[in-house]
Amino acid sequence: MKLGLGKIRDVLTGSPEQEKKNKAEAKDVEARKEKEEEEEEKEEE
C-alpha cells in the first residue's frame, strides 16, 4: 500500500482532518471493544 507524500505529511504533522479521523476511529474502536466485552460477559453467565 503506497501513501502519497501529502498523506504522510498529514500524519506526521497531524493535520486537523487527520486528527478528526483518528478521534472518530478511536471512538469506534472504544465502542466496539465495550460491545465485545459486554457480549463476553453475557456468554459467561
Q: What is the pLDDT of residues 1-45, one digit of tens each?
A: 566 777 777 667 767 777 788 788 888 989 999 999 999 888 887
DSSP per position, the chain: -PPPHHHHHHHHHT-HHHHHHHHHHHHHHHHHHHHHHHHHHHHH-
Residue 33 domain-assigned?
Answer: yes
Examine residue 38 and state whether it is found in any structural domain, yes or no: yes
The reply to whether 29 falls in a domain is yes
Q: Look at residue 28 and tell me if it is in a domain.
A: yes
Residue 26 lies in a domain: yes
Domain limits for position 38? 15-44
The answer to whether residue 40 is domain-embedded is yes
pLDDT the model gives residue 2: 64
Domain count, the chain: 1
